[in-house]
Structure 1
């Protein structure tokens, strides 16, 4: 997972940069397509995916994504540049694979932990793989972009998916999988299953409704607004490249993301999960507002360090939200509902991303990029305030 997560970060940074170069502000539509593919897969494939043993599904998802990336590499090398069509095809496959892999991973986790009190630390341990990736992946782009062609960052990502699949296959050999149960529920029941399970819990139900705002604003700010601000202001990193500067900012995000994960994971199950969740949103929204202010008010020479500091501040909130939410789902929901519940949150995340990125090109052009980034942060701060007012008193 650590290898695959680093590869994902390499590809995410490169995809954002290449898409902005090819499409400008319309690059948001490519990310919107990715969100739509994840949304469709989470909604429609869950009924089928629950019939397959989770680890085997994870292996299949990894191998299919590796094949899609290698297809993009072949097209890129044959033509000298990636085509919009090849990027679209790759994004669709990667999104579908992620929508199958992540719920399967979350579903197997509670069965591996004998003591419920260890769930926060276990979630933090697995989250650490992604936090390390956010620290190392973009930093590798920043350092290696001067010597390694962009296309081979995609090659590296394909290789990491193969490594991930091999690891899960090795685990299957050590601990053979039980036969997966066959579910006879209708397609509609399968689609609604996760939503029904989550809405029974007040805090989880509230978060299911607002997670679209949080994820959409976060994605639009960091993966469209930030590269656009760097490109428009002419901010550069090592070797004089704008991509290197972008990689360093995302790496700064990853550094405090990792540290916060270690702290949150060591604290045990939160007595007031709402305080952790909405406190995390407060950090995230503040960091994004600071990111936009830096792009709006500062001279280009000061932007890079302030971008890094703002991203690092916002990143503190990620583990506070993510680890607490994962633990809450695992402790209040039935195990049979776990994969469906994770898919329900994925659906709402991707709805938010889809709406935000479809609107982003128009909003960014109308208001200016830094101002639009500040609006993204303000939206998250509003969610945090509403959450504190509605659920801050609860003890779960």
Structure 2
């Protein structure tokens, strides 16, 4: 089943990139679970404002730094982003060890720098891939293969938190994340020697013009534009449910995992999400670009919304003894939809947009994603307090599923061709 998916690994540059991203993604998941748990335990529903801060930085860097980033060579930009994030995490660990707990300023700094690094790294990576892949027909498989790094991380990272919790401190887990960024930077430096990425300069323009260009180029592609207009609702609902709602519901119900800890239970839920996330990536990655990619894009969004809806229903109806298996099942169901959307959208950007416009288009998606996340998480703490944890998650699930249904109806009502891409 995986023959097509593994073909890009025959390229040494892609194989090295995959290893670098897989290592870094697992480290990121360690940090995300630690940060989510510590913040929810310490701040309660107000923990959502840390994610608001993260999204605000992503929006700010996307708005202010896009034009500057386009004028830099992409590998150098990715290496710089990795080194800055590693240094910040090591500073957080030093402060943590010195004081016995992470000071508030160090957590805020980590959120700020990691978000800024992501805003610079991701567009550079996406726009580099067409130059790294010799056979353009393998771009869907390459996107799926690189997508497996995050899926594997969601499967292994949170589970490692539960298993390693008895052996390593939370500060140790953050140190591991810092080390993975250093390894990623070294791998990208090696890739530039194996297969140099030619620099394609953008047209001379201001940062605002670069951002507008990204939206304009996406606007001309009907399927990508539909996905862009819905991505804020999808991302905001997903984040509010999994990184605020689930830990709060687990903590309130007293649910525990291996070793009797709540964070281990939360890690198992995210690992269950990662399991079918990875399986879905293997299936989608082995398929050529379908005639009707919109069916996968919006079907995947609908499936993700079903998963979040089931999380809310489980929290409303089930006793604490049933919550952990129910949450794991709901997360596994919803996770299958992620690759259906993500791989199709990434491949369409790389194959049907001009190469000089890919980074600008990726930034348009980042901006829309995080504006939606900001809106969702700005209201989420008040919503959780007013409605209760489970009803609020249920509401986010309904919004999530409605976004997928809306996109599906746009295309079934106007059958203008395979994807009506022009």
TM-score under structure 2 length normalisation: 0.92
CA contact (8 A) 2:158 2:271 kept: yes
Q: Is 1:129–2:149 an aligned residue pair?
A: yes
8 Å CA contact 2:306–2:397 kept in 1: the answer is yes
**Which residue pairs with 1:360 in the alignment?**
380
Deviations 1:247-279 (A, max 9, x none): 010001000000000000111102111110111
**1:102 match:** 122
What is the Cα deviation at residue 114 of structure 1? 3.5
Deviation at 1:145, TM superposition (A): 1.0
Deviation, 1:296, is: 1.2
Q: 1:174 Cα deviation (Å)?
A: 2.8
The 5-angstrom pairing of residues 7-18 of structure 1 reads 7-18=27-38
1:261 maps to 281
| SS of alignment partner, residue 94 of structure 1 | helix
Q: Pick from 56, 63, 77 the counterpart of residue 57 of structure 1.
A: 77
In the other structure, the counterpart of 1:149 is 169
- d(CA) in 2 for partners of 1:248 and 1:346? 28
Q: d(CA) in 2 for partners of 1:182 and 1:216?
A: 31
How far off its partner does 1:173 sit? 2.7
- Cα distance in 1 between the residues matched to 2:386 and 2:196: 56
Q: Please tell me whether the aligned partners of residues 284 and 380 of structure 1 are also in contact (alpha carbons under 8 angstroms).
A: yes
- Paired with 2:276 and 2:174, the residues of 1 have a C-alpha distance of 26
User: Within 5 Å, which residues of 2 pair with 1:272-351?
Assistant: 272-351=292-371
Deviations for 1:197-244, whole angstroms, at most 9, x for unmatched residues?
Answer: 101111111211110000000000000000000000000000000000
Q: Which stretches in structure 2 are left out of the alignment for 5+ residues?
A: 1-20
CA RMSD after TM alignment: 1.2
Cα drift, residue 82 of structure 1: 1.0
Is 1:395 the equivalent of 2:418?
A: yes
Shift of 1:117: 2.5
- Give how far 1:116 is off: 3.1
Q: Judge which range, 222-231 or 386-395, deviates more.
A: 386-395
Cα shift readout 1:129-175 (whole Å, capped 9, x = no counterpart): 11111111001001111221111110000000000001011112333
Question: What is the aligned partner in structure 1 of residue 49 from structure 2?
Answer: 29
CA contact (8 A) 1:280 1:319 kept: yes
1:252 and 2:272 correspond: yes
Cα offset, 1:179, TM superposition:
5.3
1:377-396 matched pairs, under 5 angstroms: 377-392=397-412, 393=415, 394-396=417-419
Q: Which residue of 1 aligns with 2:61?
A: 41
Alpha-carbon shift at residue 21 of structure 1 (Å): 1.5
Q: CA deviation at 1:182?
A: 6.9
Deviant stretches of 4+, over 6 Å: none
Corresponding residue for 1:90? 110
- Distance, in Å, in 1 between the alignment partners of 2:369 and 2:255 is 31
Which ranges in structure 1 are unaligned for 5 or more consecutive residues? none
From 25, 33, 52, the equivalent of 1:5 is 25
